[in-house]
């Protein structure tokens, strides 16, 4: 009986070591491919919020980190700097809407040098399917309603959903989600407008520069 237990224990130990080895080897062999896929996905999103003809640099490489509560978190958030012929021509900044219905909503906002929003996309969310998930471009085009908009002293009150007297549609049965996104986009634009020179003067320290 004791021999059988020892034999089974040894077999399990060998199996566990082998399984761990397989996982480690698989991770090693696929990590570069995963990184390439993540980079390709990010580049796709960046080119949606900043048109390819508006920059001639590699946006993924031109990345710097910023931190401010206006971005919805105390974490460092990446900003991707777009240049054309060596001159600043826009940027895309990631931000968090901390008050989504089901938690944090991660988004990215592109804008030109005049503070005009050139595109917005949702990067990650856990909002309710059929309701709050309409912020996702794969579900509806609501997120494109920010394109062409600016934030000024005179129009800040209009940066709200219609239920709150603003210009942006809410969803039937789901006002919390669009309200959170509108606020996050507005704050991201205001942060950039207040800190544009500082952002452009920072060293590149994320993306491919880590």
What pLDDT was estimated at residue 37? 60
From first to last of its 210 residues, the chain has per-residue pLDDT tens of 555 555 555 555 465 444 444 444 444 444 455 545 656 778 889 999 999 999 999 998 999 999 999 999 999 999 999 999 999 999 999 999 999 999 999 999 999 999 999 999 999 999 999 999 999 999 999 999 999 999 999 999 999 999 999 999 999 999 999 999 999 999 999 999 999 999 999 999 987 665
**44 three-state secondary structure:** helix
Measuring CA to CA, which residue among 61, 56, 111 is closest to residue 84?
56
pLDDT reported for residue 15:
57
Neighbours of 203 (CB within 10 A): 7
What is the secondary structure of 134-158 as a DSSP string?
GGSTTT-SGGGGGTT----TTTGGG
Residue-level pLDDT at 187 = 98
pTM of the model: 0.82
User: Which residues fall within 8 angstroms of residue 73, CB to CB, at 6 or more apart?
Assistant: 95, 96, 98, 104
Please name the residues in contact with 112: beta carbons below 8 A apart, sequence gap of 6 or more.
54, 89, 90, 118
Residues 6+ apart with CB under 8 A from 167: 158, 159, 160
Q: Which pLDDT belongs to residue 23? A: 44
pLDDT at position 63: 96
And the tokens for 91?
């940027």
């Amino acid at each position: 009986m004791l021999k059988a237990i020892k034999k089974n224990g040894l077999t399990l130990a060998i199996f566990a070591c082998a399984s761990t080895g397989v996982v480690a080897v698989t991770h090693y062999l696929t990590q570069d491919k995963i990184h390439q896929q993540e980079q390709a996905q990010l580049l796709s999103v960046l080119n949606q919020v900043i048109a390819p003809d508006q920059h001639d640099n590699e946006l993924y490489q031109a990345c710097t980190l910023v931190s401010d509560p206006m971005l919805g978190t105390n974490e460092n958030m990446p900003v991707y700097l777009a240049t054309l012929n060596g001159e600043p021509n826009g940027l895309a900044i990631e931000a968090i809407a901390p008050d989504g219905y089901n938690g944090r909503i991660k988004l990215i906002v592109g804008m030109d040098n005049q503070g005009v929003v050139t595109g917005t996309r949702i990067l990650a969310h856990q909002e309710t399917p059929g309701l709050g998930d309409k912020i996702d471009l794969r579900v509806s085009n609501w997120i494109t309603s920010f394109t062409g908009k600016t934030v000024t002293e005179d129009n800040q009150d209009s940066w709200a959903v219609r239920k709150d007297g603003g210009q942006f549609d809410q969803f039937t049965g789901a006002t919390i989600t669009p309200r959170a996104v509108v606020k996050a986009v507005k704050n991201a634009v205001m942060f950039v407008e207040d800190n544009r020179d500082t952002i452009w003067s920072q060293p590149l320290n994320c993306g491919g520069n880590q």
